[in-house]
Structure 1
C-alpha cells in the first residue's frame, strides 16, 4: 500500500509537539509492515528536500513565512499539494492520503476538489476547544481553526482520534458521524525513553538532595495542561511531605505565572523551573524523578503517560481524556479530580509510604504496561482503517 502522510511537524524536520512523534513512529511502523510511506511536511534549514529515513520517504516543502499563522499554514498546504503531485508522478498513485490535525486540512480539500481523489483519512490529535482548556475562544483566529477541524471530519472518508473522550468531543463540537470515527490509542518506543541514570546525581544537578522525592511536571506551560493547578497543590503536599521537591519543565504562556505564583506562596525554593529542556534532559528527568504529575484540564491522549510508564514512573493524573481511559487506578497511577486539593491528595498518597516500596511496585507495573503500546501493533489498526475506504 502506498500511503501519503500530511503533517506540519515530524521529528526529522521541524518537531513542535506530540504529533511529530506520532507521525514519525507510525510512519516507520507502517514501513516495517511492508507499506510504502511518504511524509509531506515543512522543510528545516539545511536539510534536503527529499530523504529516506528508516524506510520512510520524507518530502520537505518550502513554505514562505507569514505573520498570520493560519495563512502560513495555508501556504504550507499549497506547497504540500505541489510536492504531492510531483511525488505521485514519480512513484505512482497513492492508495491513501492521511492528514494529521487541522494544519493540513486545506491540502486535503485541494486534492479532493481538484483531482477527485477521495481515499482520505484525517486524524484529529486535539481540538481547538480542548487546547483552550475546554473553552470556546471567542475570536476570529480560533474560529478559523475550528472550521478546519470541522472540514477535516467532513471531507475524510474515515477519521481517527486518540481516545473515546476525543471521539465524543468531535461528535459534539463538529457533528462528525459516529461511524466515521475510529479510536486508536498512541504508542511509545520504550527504548527511546529508558536510560540508566544515577538518579541522585541528576537530582544534585538541580540542587536537590539525592534522597528527596521529586515530582515532575513536563509539558507545555498552558491552561490546557494545568501547571497552575499543580502550583496550588504544592503547599498542600509540602505540609505532609516537607522533603518533596518539584520540577517544572516546559515553556508556554503560563511559565512566568508559575514562577511568580510559587514565590508568592513561599514555596519557590522547593521547586525548580527549567523552561525548555533538550531530549537528553527530558529522558534524564523521566528516569530520575519519583512521580510524574499530569494535571491537565484537557488531555486528548497524553503520550507523557506512556513515557512515564516506560521509565517505570507512576503518574498522578487528572481523570480526563487518554489518562482517564488508560490508567488502571492504584495499579499504574492515581486518577484525581481537576482541583489542587485532589492533586495534592494523590501525590501525598504515593508519598505516604516512606519506604518507597509502594512507588517502586507501581513503577514496575507501569513498565510492563508501557510495553503493550507497541507502534507496530498500533500501525496494524491504522491499516484496518485504510481498508475501510
Structure 2
C-alpha cells in the first residue's frame, strides 16, 4: 500500500491529559502502529498542552472545548478540531477515521471526505443494555445513528457490536467490518513476586486474590461481583478481592462491601495495574454489556485466568473451559465460576497460558493494524461508500 495521510478524530488519547477509558489506548496504539508502517498520522483530540505535538511518530493537534453539558461540549470540540484539521489538509488527507460519537458533528462538516467511523461501544450498551429516558441518551443515540449513516465505511470491535449497530441504527451489514482492539502482550507480562504484591495490600501471600479492573458503573457489573462474594466465601473463606477503578457506583459499592474482604483501590497507574494483573490469581469481568473488553486481552497477556459474563466480545472471544470460564450475568453464576477454579491453581494457569496463545495469534497490533489498513484500502479503491 502507498503511504497514506490519515486523520484520527477521538476525544481522548494517551498523547494528552484526557484519558477516560479503553478508547484512549485503543486509538492511540492503532495510530502509533500505523505511523510505524510509514503512514503520516495526525490525531485530533482534546488536550491542555501546546496546539501541536509529535509523540511516538504521531502528530497531535489539541483543543480545549467548553460547554454546559456533554452534547454542547462535543459540539464545541467538533468545531475546534475541524478548524485544526483544515489548517493541515494540504496536501489533503486520504482517510479520516472517527472513533465513537463525540466528533460526529465534525464528520458531518467533513462528510465529502473518505470517512470511517469505528463504534467502540454504543450509548445503549454503555447503559447496560437499557434504553435511557433522559435527553442526553436520545441526543447521543441520534448522533450514533447519523454517524453510521454518513460514514463511507464502519468498523466495530466485535460481531455483537456489529449486530447491535445494525439493529439500533439500521447500518447495512455490507458497510461494517469487524476489527477487534489490538494489544502489545509483552507490555503486560512482567516478572513480579505475587506474595510481595499481596503483602503491599495487607493480604497474606498465600491467600487467593480475585481482581476486578474497570469503571465502577452499572455496565461493568462490579455490583454483581460484590453480590457474589458471600457465596464464594462460603466455599473458600480466605479469598480476597481487589477492585481497581473509579466510577459513579463507588460510594454505593463501598457501603455494600462493609465487612467483606474487599479493597477499592480507585484509579491505578499503568505500572501498578500490571503488577496487580501478574500477582492476582484470577481476573473477573462481570459486565452487563461489553463490546470488546480490553481487560480480557490484558489479563490473557499476563497469563491470567478469567471468569467473565457471557456477553458481547467476551462471549465471542473466550473459548469456554479452554482459555476462560463464561457464565450468565447473575451473581450466583459468577460465584460458581470463581469457585469452580479457585481451588485448582494448575487449572487456572493452564487457562491463562491458553489465553496468551490466543492473544499472540489474533490480537497483536501487527495483525489488527493490517486489517484496519485493509478497510482504508478498500474504501480508497471504490469500496463501501
Aligned partners of 1:111 and 1:290: how far apart in 2? 49
Write the distance in 1 (CA, Å) between the matches of 2:36 and 2:366: 8
Task: Give 1:366 deviation, angstroms.
Answer: 2.1
Q: Output one character per residue of 1:208-261: Cα deviation in whole Å (capped at 9) or x when no partner.
A: 101111000110000000001001100111111111111111111111111111
Q: How many residue pairs align between the two structures?
A: 374
Shift of 1:344: 0.5
Residues 89-113 of structure 1: per-residue CA shift (max 9 Å, x gap): 3xx101110100000100000112x
Deviation, 1:369, is 2.1
Q: TM-score, normalised by structure 2?
A: 0.95
Distance 2:257 2:266 in 1: 15
3-state SS of paired residue (2:299): helix
Residue range with higher mean Cα deviation, 296-305 or 24-33: 24-33
Whether 1:329 aligns to 2:320 is: yes
Instruction: Give, in whole Å, the separation in 1 of the partners of 2:233 and 2:307.
Output: 16
Q: Tell whether 2:288 aligns with 1:291.
A: no
- Provide structure 2 residue ranges, at least 5 long, that are not aligned to the other structure: 380-385
- What residue is the counterpart of 2:89 in the other structure? 88
Higher mean C-alpha displacement, 23-32 vs 97-106: 23-32
Please say if 1:366 is aligned against 2:366. Answer: no
How many Å apart are 1:118 and its aligned residue? Answer: 3.1
Q: Please give the alpha-carbon distance, in whole angstroms, between the structure 1 residues aligned to 2:186 and 2:349.
A: 20
Q: In structure 1, the residue corresponding to 2:247 is in which secondary structure?
A: coil
The answer to whether the 8 Å contact 1:73/1:103 transfers is yes
Distance 2:214 2:230 in 1: 21
Please state whether the residue corresponding to 1:88 is helix, strand or coil: coil
| Alignment-derived partner of residue 382 in structure 2 | none
User: After superposition, what is the alpha-carbon deviation per residue over 1:305-339, rounded to whole angstroms, capped at 9, x for unaligned?
Assistant: 00000111011000111111111111111000000
Equivalent-residue separation in structure 2 for 1:111 and 1:78 (angstroms): 11
Q: Distance in 1 between matches of 2:369 and 2:350?
A: 31
Other-structure match for 1:375: 365
> 2:374 matched to 1:384?
yes
**Among candidates 29, 38, 41, match of residue 37 of structure 1:** 41
**Structure 2 CA distance, aligned partners of 1:360 and 1:16?**
31
Deviation at 1:173, TM superposition (A): 0.7
Distance in 2, Cα, partners of 1:339 & 1:316 = 12
Partner of 1:357: 346
Distance 1:140 1:366 in 2: 41
Which blocks of at least 5 consecutive residues in structure 1 are unaligned?
Answer: none
Query: Counterpart in 2 of 1:97?
Result: 96
Write the distance in 2 (CA, Å) between the matches of 1:41 and 1:253: 25
Match of 1:152 among 144, 147, 153: 147
